[in-house]
Amino acid sequence: MSESSVRPSGQTSGAPFETSSGRLRPGGRAWTRSTARAFQGAVGKMPWLTKICFLWLILVILAAALADLIPGLADPNYQGFVFGDGKTNEGPTASHWLGTDNVSRDILARLIYGARVSLIFAFSLVAAGIIIGGTLGSIAGYFRGPLETFLMALVDTWLSFPALIGLVFVTTMLGMRNLLVLVLVGSIFVWPSYTRIARATALSVSGQDFVTAARAIGTSRRQILVREIFPNVLPAMLAYSLVGLPVLIILESTLSFLGLGVEIPTASWGGMINQARQDLLINIWPAVWPAAMLFMTVYSFNNLADWVRKQAAARSAAI
Amino acid sequence: MAISQEPVDTSTPSESMEGSEILRVEDLHTSFFLPIGELQAVRGVSFTLKRGQSLGIVGESGSGKTVLARSIMGLTLAKHVEISGKAFFNGRDLLTLSRREMRSLWGTEIAMIFQDPMTSLNPMVKIGRQVIEHLRQHKNVDRREAKQIALDLLNEVRIPEAESRIDRLPHELSGGMRQRVSIASALACEPSLLFADEPTTALDVTVQHQILNLLSREQRQRNMTMVLVTHDLGVIAGRTDETLVMYAGKVVEQAPTAEIFDNTQHPYTEALMRSIPRTSQPSHTPLAAITGRPPVATHLPKGCAFSPRCPYVQPRCHEEDPSLVSIGTSEHKAACWYPVGSDANREAFERNLSDRLPQTLAVAEALDADQGSETSADVPDGELT
Ligand SMILES: Nc1ncnc2c1ncn2[C@@H]1O[C@H](COP(=O)(O)OP(=O)(O)OP(=O)(O)O)[C@@H](O)[C@H]1O
Ligand code: SF4
Ligand SMILES: [Mg+2]
């Protein structure tokens, strides 16, 4: 997704956030090649800070995805002191590069596995938002009528409901807080904002000539929705996602910090900070590292989102 | 091509026969019901088109050309719209067809080209695919065949290096190239009737000529019937068989195109004629704009709609709306009490001149400035290729 997001397009009319980034092209080998070339070009044009942010994100994503394959990376839940081969609150050593926490677990391993939780949570919810919200919003914006009225009333009601409380409430009721449950319950709360954006975009896209042109060559309404509306709603969704990702990462960390995220001992940044809180005066590092990770990742996403938005604006001004 | 529906009318259309009637519009009215009142965009338009013929519809912005074309095509215009009248296409009244029935005609029988090639192509889909999907929608061809047909079409509309351009997105092409793609797409399923709504207005002058010539060539080669909508009389000169001049939703003059130029009857047509850029004039000569503005369609003046701007206006014009009647030949019709060239018209002009009517003075001035050069508008040749 970051691939397509860094290639902003012009087509922005009416989309909230007035970005619409990402040129999605249908498959094909030529496409892969030209995308790769465009991708290189786009990265080359980034200011140095954005480049660093971009590289950082790639590093975090790769590490999280390939954590199990990293040679020599400790088990994030292994408590050495229980077996007599590790110390608690240890400083950096050759075997524990970032030291250990107050129950002697390897901090680096927990940071990497914690990234996995944050990223899976954020990306899954974004995907859910795009799929559910994009579909409902496009249908509402293109077909209009009573369905639209109903959906939008639902969205407005839903958005006025405090999502964080809802999320905590539902997970507590369920009594289960693994990642899958968090994502499923989270989806209930992300779709409305995506629906709203998709509908606004679909509404402006529907009024454009190419939709009338499609009708004038006998395209059915369903096909128009799939071929003309969706592809033009998607960039707005992706642009919004880039802004939404860091928010979701913070949400996950907040939940974990409050002890309401994934169940312990699963590593998560918020959970690590919470854990370190107890011994903060003895050893501050187990709290500093996850906080720094959180900060850098969120900052990087925001910086990149900002750059993409500027590119899209420049592009649409040029068209 | 064949429509296996019985003709509603008594006149049996023989489909393949050249010169048979393909479209007959009778007393078409289109009104929008807006909060500020009823907006009569089209007010009783009638015309007939034979297979293979081309018709130019000319008028200023807001005269109802687009609404007329879209009403006939059955493309929804707005929510609060009322269309009445008849539009027989091969004997079937289009205005009575269901959306399903219309859809079976769209693309294969009737197609449309839009004004702005920037917005009439999907910005997110490769141009080749836009043509291919259209083909596959109506024709039973596989992907490869469709691609070949699409390539042939793109070559036919003279897109250089079509093989490499087929994978481009619309924004990677120039305006003229995009309009060629739109044309290729519209022609893909060989429609028998093509509406072109100001197909060149958004393009620059040299490209305009190329696109118009392309359209004319395709129209003749395919024996297609074409309706060419424009606000520029110069665009239809030498390109269409018939011309319909529209003002405020009504046809004010209707004649074979050559006749319109040689024997202008309506003061509005005459005014349009004066605003054609002339090749004989040095460039940068300001065009003679028509004095005043077109009427707001919700508040039409009483009597002739052109009366507030007409240099020949007389008291009668403010009272009675002239109807479209044959003048000279039966093929030439105009709606005016004082048609251009008549004695009554000359008297009206003199009278208004001595009354110092602003629009009459403006015309007199333009005529003075023209002294020496020929007085009848010389029209840029529509060089056909
Ligand atoms: N969807 C609509 N709702 C309300 N009024 C409309 C609508 N479409 C057109 N009109 C009005 O109908 C009248 C005729 O418009 P139309 O677009 O047909 O003009 P036109 O001759 O095509 O002009 P142009 O050269 O600008 O394209 C105008 O007064 C316009 O404001
Ligand atoms: S002379 Fe009268 S009727 Fe003729 S166009 Fe002028 S105002 Fe209308
Ligand atoms: Mg128009």
The answer to whether the CB of B147 is under 6 A from ligand 1 is no
**3-state SS, residue A232:** helix
Give the mutation target among B251, B314, B340, B359 for probing the ligand 2 site: most ligand atoms within 8 A of CB. Answer: B314
Residues B244 and B350 in one domain: no
Categorize the per-residue pLDDT at B207 as very low, low, confident or very high, splitting at 50, 70 and 90. confident
Contacts of A29 (CB under 8 A, 6+ apart): none
In a domain, B1, yes or no: no
Residues B286 and B190 in one domain: no
Residues B175 and B87 in one domain: yes
Residues B135 and B182 in one domain: yes
| Interface contact flag, A217 B107, Cβ < 8 Å | yes
Residue B366 has pLDDT above 70, yes or no: yes
| Sheet architecture: strand order including B92-93 | B37-50, B21-34, B81-89, B92-93
CA distances from B140 to B130, B135, B154, B229 (A): 16, 8, 20, 32
* Burial class of residue B316 in the structure, from the number of CB atoms within 10 Å of its CB (0-12 exposed, 13-18 middle, 19+ buried): middle
CA distance A213 to A126: 32
Using an 8 Å CB-CB cutoff, list chain B residues near A232. 122-124
- CB nearest A217 (choices: B119, B171, B185): B185
Residue B332 has pLDDT above 90, yes or no: yes
pLDDT of A18 reads 31
Instruction: Kindly state the average pLDDT of the residues B135-152.
Output: 89
Categorize the per-residue pLDDT at B379 as very low, low, confident or very high, splitting at 50, 70 and 90. very low
Name the residue of chain A whose CA is nearest to B186's CA: A217
Number of domains in chain B: 2
In a domain, B344, yes or no: yes
pLDDT of B312 reads 93
Residues B198 and B282 in one domain: no
Residues B199 and B52 in one domain: yes
Q: Which two tokens stand for residue B53?
A: 């013929």
Cα(B247) to centroid of ligand 1, in Å?
12
Residues B104/B89, Cβ–Cβ less than 8 Å = no
pLDDT of A292 reads 94
Categorize the per-residue pLDDT at B278 as very low, low, confident or very high, splitting at 50, 70 and 90. low
In a domain, B16, yes or no: no
Give the mutation target among B309, B316, B336, B360 for probing the ligand 2 site: most ligand atoms within 8 A of CB. Answer: B336
pLDDT of A105 reads 84
In a domain, B383, yes or no: no
Q: Which residue has the higher pLDDT, B70 or B295?
A: B70
Residues B340 and B367 in one domain: yes
Sign of CA dihedral B278, B282, B283, B289: negative
Residue B384 has pLDDT above 90, yes or no: no
Q: Which residue has the higher pLDDT, B294 or B17?
A: B294
The answer to whether the CB of B62 is under 6 A from ligand 1 is yes
Residues B74 and B173 in one domain: yes
Using an 8 Å CB-CB cutoff, list chain A residues near B147. none
Q: Which residue has the higher pLDDT, B206 or B27?
A: B27
| Interface contact flag, B75 A215, Cβ < 8 Å | yes
Domains of chain A: 65-287 (1.10.3720.10)
Instruction: Kindly state the average pLDDT of the residues B313-341.
Output: 91
Residues B223 and B269 in one domain: no
Query: How close, in Å, is residue A208 to chain B by CA atoms?
Result: 7
The answer to whether the CB of B66 is under 6 A from ligand 1 is yes
In a domain, B13, yes or no: no
Name the residue of chain B whose CA is nearest to A234's CA: B124
| Interface contact flag, A11 B125, Cβ < 8 Å | no
The answer to whether the CB of B202 is under 6 A from ligand 1 is no
Instruction: Kindly state the average pLDDT of the residues B133-160.
Output: 89
| Interface contact flag, B123 A210, Cβ < 8 Å | yes
Residues A199/A141, Cβ–Cβ less than 8 Å = yes
Give the residue from B236, B258, B280 where a domain finishes: B258
Phi, psi dihedrals of residue B23, rounded to the nearest 5°:
-135, 130
Using an 8 Å CB-CB cutoff, list chain B residues near A209. 114-116, 119-120
Phi, psi dihedrals of residue B193, rounded to the nearest 5°:
-130, 125
Q: For B192, what's the count of Cα atoms within 13 Å in the CB-facing half-sphere?
A: 20
User: How would you classify residue B300: left for phi > 0, otherwise alpha for psi between -120 and 50, otherwise beta?
Assistant: beta
In a domain, B5, yes or no: no
Q: For A168, what's the count of Cα atoms within 13 Å in the CB-facing half-sphere?
A: 12
Atom of ligand 2 lying closest to residue B337 CA: 3
B54-58 vs B225-230, strand pairing mode: parallel
Contacts of A252 (CB under 8 A, 6+ apart): A117, A118, A121, A122, A182, A261, A268, A270
Residues B49 and B76 in one domain: yes
Categorize the per-residue pLDDT at B335 as very low, low, confident or very high, splitting at 50, 70 and 90. very high
Residues B32 and B95 in one domain: yes
Q: How far is CA A14 from the centre of its chain?
A: 23
In a domain, B189, yes or no: yes
Residues B159 and B279 in one domain: no
Q: Which residues of chain A register pLDDT less than 70?
A: 1-34, 317-319
pLDDT of A233 reads 94
Residues B107/B138, Cβ–Cβ less than 8 Å = yes
Residue B116's domain spans which residues?
26-258
**3-state SS, residue B237:** coil
Chain B residues at the A interface, defined by Cβ less than 8 Å, are 73, 75, 103-108, 110-112, 114-116, 118-126, 129, 133-134, 137-138, 167, 169, 171, 182, 185-186, 188-189
pLDDT in tens, B230-261: 988 988 988 999 999 999 999 999 999 999 99
pLDDT of B316 reads 93
Q: How many residues does chain B have?
A: 385
CA distance A304 to A286: 28
Contacts of B31 (CB under 8 A, 6+ apart): B38, B39, B40, B41, B81, B82
pTM above 0.80, yes or no: no
pLDDT in tens, B34-66: 888 889 999 999 999 999 999 999 999 889 999
User: How would you classify residue B302: left for phi > 0, otherwise alpha for psi between -120 and 50, otherwise beta?
Assistant: beta
Q: What number is the ipTM of this complex?
A: 0.76
Other beta carbons within 10 angstroms of residue B143's beta carbon come to 11
CATH label of the domain that carries residue B190: 3.40.50.300
In a domain, B7, yes or no: no
